[in-house]
Each structure stands twice: as C-alpha cells, then as structure tokens.
Chain A
Amino acid sequence: MANVTENREQVVGIGAGAKELATEDMVLNIGPQHPSTHGVLRLRLTLDGERISQAEPIVGYMHRGAEKLFEVRDYRQIIVLANRHDWLSAFANELGVVLAVERMLGMEVPIRAVWTRTLLAELNRILNHLMFLGSYPLEVGAITPIFYAFRERETLQAVMEEISGGRMHYMFNRVGGLKEELPQGWLDRVADAVHQVRTRLPNLENLIHGNEIFRARTRGVGILTPEAIMQYGVSGPIARASGVDFDLRRDEPYLAYGELPVKVVTRQEGDCLARFECLLDQVKVSLDLADLCVDRMRGLPQGPVNQRLPKVLKVPEGHTYAWTENPLGINGYYLVSRGEKTPWRLKLRSASYNNIQALKEMLPGQLVADMIAILGSMFFVVGDIDK
C-alpha cells in the first residue's frame, strides 16, 4: 500500500494510489435516516474517497411549525409546545416562555418558586449533558458509557418525575411560578440523588475520558475557532470549549443565579475532546449548584410556589426578549403581544439551530469517520434545529 505515510490524513481506500483510474466524487447523504444524526438531520456530503470536499446541512425534516402554533395557544398551552422543541432540555425551554410572560406582566414570582426553578433547571442540565456524555462515545464506537450515563439519568429522573409527573416533558412551569407544591421530603431525595450521581460520575469519566483511542479520535479533530463561533452565533458548551467565555447564568443572571457562584467551564482547544470535557465539567458544576439550591431552599420561609392568575391571562401590549442559558446554548423567546390571550408572535431562537450551522465550516477536509466524531460533539437535538 502506497498510502502509508506519516501524514495521517492520507486517503485510505477508494482511489488510493490509482492515478490512472479516473476518480469521481461521490455524493453521500448522511441522513435523514442515519444512526448518528439522532433523528432526521440530513448532511449532503461530497466525498473524494473518504475525504469530505463539501458538506451541506439540510434541515427542516422535523419542522413542526412551533412558532406558528404558539400564536394560537394561550400561555399555558404554549408551555406544552415549548418544552418539546429540545426534548432534552424541556424544563429550560418552559422557563424562557414563562420568564418572558412574567416580565411583560411585571409579575413577581414567589421566592420559593424561583429557587425551585433554579434547582430544576440545573437538574435538567445534568440530565441533558449525561445524555450526550453517553451518546457521544457511542458514536465513536464505545458502547458501554451510555449505560452508565443512563443509570445516572434514571437516578435524577426519579426526582424530576416525583415533582412534576413527567420524565421528559415536565410541564411544571406556570406563569407566576410552578404548577404544584414540592412533595414532602423531596429536597432530601434530590440531595441524595445528586450525591449518588456525584459519587458514580468518576466511573463514567474513567471509562471513556482517559481512553487512548477516544483521545486519539477526538483530540485536534474538528477545531472550531472563536471567530467562527461569533459569526455563526454558536453558544453553550460548544462555544465555551473554544474559549468563548460567555454564560448567561453569570453574565446576565436570571432566576436565582445572581446569588449563586456559577463557575463557567471553558477550554481553549475548541476540538471534540474539549467539547466533551466542557460537558463533563459542567455536570460537576451543575451538581454543586443543585446542592447549593437545596441548601438555600431549606432556609427559605414558608410561602407559595405560584401566583393566583386571572381566568383569562392576557399579556399587555408590547414586546420582550427573554433568553436563558439552556443546556445546549442560548435559548431565546421574542414575545410580541397585542394584549390578547395569545401572543401575536413568539420567535424562538434555539441553540442547536445556530450551533449546527458551523458544520459547513468544520466538515470540509475531514474524513467520514471524523465527520461522525464532529457531528456527535456538536451536541444537537434535531427538534431544536427544526423547531
């Protein structure tokens, strides 16, 4: 084989060393049905051998018209839809809607509700990250970490289900607070679950993070520059892995984050490994934040967790933009109201949509195998892309 050189980017396989044969570019559609697109993202790749010469993400296969549906739903019904675009960050998605409405109404949310929301948002972040910490190794061929990740998810999901009744679509935010009171002893069970996850997280970390093959597959692969991040509006752990030190929880605190020491996890490398490490460290930070929330909630005075609302909730005329640091990045709702009980327009800025646009920059020049490593490390949810 003539293709074995020190240059690891040498083409292996089709057309290697066969100059006299006419080679032809091949168009390969990754998706809309493909195991590593987590749904129906489609990438149209032009391949020269296994090297990608062009990549075009084609989105929209799961477009559900969420924004249009918002316009004919009242604010409680919007929550049902809003927690469904990014089904791994349902609580954070609900949060943006109610924060926007509360700001328009000038409504004060009871302090217990604020802290409970903060706690649930962090638990939701951990759940989301654990999912990707399990599925990303699966994409580079390690089949075991996902089971470890899911065991931890199950531990946390038990407390989420106990308080909200849902496992994915919590439907627990309401304008003015939360749907229901906390069950008795729930805080203890949260503290216990957080403790369990924290003690078992090193298992997951040791299994995959230190693995030589995993590092060889991810280090230096798919580097995203801070400039590209700024241009494409990439946010969340992916942006922070490239050294873009921006986190709404610290930089524009909402909920109770202003009173919490939010440690923003950043990396400078911007490669797949850095993105994975960001996620892993964010889980640890969120576990600590969850503990702090539980401690603070124990010291709060007795009080309600929601506001009494009028039978028909109408939001005064005007507009506002509420953004939150969702697990996958910045999630924003631009709410325009004309004083009706439904919004006139509710624009959704979802994290994954912007994040995957950067693929067009990252993929050309990579091998198909690296394409999978990069795609997996962009941590997207197809529903969040297509809305």
Chain B
Amino acid sequence: MTRQYPEVQPELPARSRGVIALVEENCTSCMLCARECPDWCIYIDSHKETLPSPEGGRARTRNVLDRFAIDFSLCMYCGICIEVCPFDALFWSPEFAYSEYDIRDLLHEKDRLGGWLESVPPPPAHDEKAEPAKELQVAARPPRPARDAGAPAAAPARERPVREPRAAAVRAIKPPGSLPKRPDPDPDPEGNGSGPRPTRGEPPENVT
C-alpha cells in the first residue's frame, strides 16, 4: 500500500484539485472569480488602459491586470472560481507539493500562479453516453470568416511534452458569440484539439 513518496510520485487524475493555475493573458480582470469565491481568497487589482485606435476610430479601453493572487491558506479548493471564469483563465493542476514554513508564503501571486500552468494536464475524454460538448456543436456550424489565431509557437513551453498535442485547445479564449460556457472547461471530448490559442501577451479578443 505504501508508496515511497518523494521517489515514487503519485499518479493523480487530471481533475485532481491540487493548485490553481492562471493564464494571465486570458484574464480580463472581470472579478467574477473573486466575487464568487466562498471565502474571498482571490485578490485582483487592475487599471484601465486606453489604446488609440489604429484607424482613427473610437479609442478602445481595456483592463490591465496588475495583481492576481490566491491565498491558498484560505482556499477551500472548491473550484468555483475556475467554474465561473468566462474566459478560461483559471485551471486546476494536480500539483500539490507547495507547502511552506510560513503561512504568508501560501499567498501565490500571478507569476507563481502562471507557473503552475506547466503542470495542467489535458482534461479526460468524456464517457460515451455524454452529450457532445457545446464547443463541438458550435464548431459543426458553418464557419465564420477565418481568423488565424492559432499560434502554436507559444504552446510548447507550457504543456507536458507527453500530452502535447491534446492540450492545445484547452485554454483557448471562448470565441465571441458562442454559447455560454459550460461548467466544464473541456471543449473537446475526443481529445484531438483544434481550437485556436492565444499567443502570450496578445490582448484578449473579446474585450471592449
């Protein structure tokens, strides 16, 4: 029964709730997660930035995230923040080995939260009896004018090498106009991801 832990790592299922990872580029500082958190352990600071429109039209404003922090000494690991995030900026990672000697160090700032992204596994394929995912139903509709947002160049650093191809679609920004997000972040029961994925640093597409 005993496993020699540091030498033998546990095999944790993909849904394991270990730590919360943040995709900073996807976050629009909408505060939904911070407000829905049952014990208010998410701290978000942001400011507005005005971008001059390139064609001389109306200037666009967007939110710039200054601080995103989760206090894991308070977190109850319920996953509501991940469930409510409309822009797929938060993910569960099964990583659990982040205990600290000082409780204050359990406050993970956005860099640390972003670092957990490497350990986020692709979601498991769904049961045969499952309804096809909403995203697939959307994909089956006639295509809209193509916009090539797929930038695989950004991907390699983040995924575990073994599961590389399946993970690509997971963190995509929800295409504008698609159906409301289902509670489950898995757009792709078959696991052959094809969705677009933002480059790091690129502003989220559906703000304004």
Contact = CB atoms under 8 A, between A and B. Distances in A.
Interface of A: 73-74, 76-77, 79-81, 84, 112, 147, 150-151, 154, 158, 161-166, 169, 171, 174, 179-187, 297, 300-306, 308
A76 to B, nearest CB: 6
Contact of B183 (A163, A180, A186, A303): A180
B87 interface: no
B80 A165 contact: no
Nearest to A180: B184
B77 A181 contact: no
Interface in B149-193: 180, 183-184, 186, 189
Nearest to A77: B38
B80 A77 contact: yes
A302 B131 contact: yes
A186 B12 CA distance: 14
A300 B129 contact: yes
A182 B130 contact: yes
A134 to B, nearest CB: 13
Nearest to B180: A308
Nearest to B12: A161
A76 B36 CA distance: 9
Nearest to A165: B15
A165 B127 contact: no
Contacts, number: 95
Interface in B110-143: 124-131
Interface of B: 1, 12-17, 36, 38, 76-80, 83, 92, 124-131, 180, 183-184, 186, 189
B126 A182 contact: yes
B131 A183 contact: no
A171 B129 contact: no
Nearest to A178: B183
A147 B126 contact: no
A182 B129 CA distance: 9
Contacts of A180: 15, 183-184, 186
Nearest to B2: A147
A171 B127 contact: no
Contacts of B126: 181-184
A150 B79 CA distance: 27
17 contacts: A77-B78, A80-B80, A81-B38, A161-B15, A161-B16, A164-B15, A165-B16, A169-B78, A179-B83, A181-B127, A181-B189, A183-B14, A183-B15, A183-B124, A184-B189, A302-B130, A308-B180
A196 B131 CA distance: 30
Contacts of B128: 184, 302
Contact of A151 (B1, B36, B127, B189): B1
Contacts of B15: 161-165, 180, 183
A79 B36 CA distance: 13
Given A151-B1, A171-B79, A181-B184, A80 B38 contact: yes
Given A162-B15, A181-B127, A147 B1 contact: yes
A179 B77 contact: no
A171 B13 contact: no
B80 A186 contact: no
Nearest to A78: B38
Contacts of B183: 174, 179-180, 306
B125 A302 contact: no
B124 A184 contact: yes
B177 to A, nearest CB: 17
A305 B126 CA distance: 11
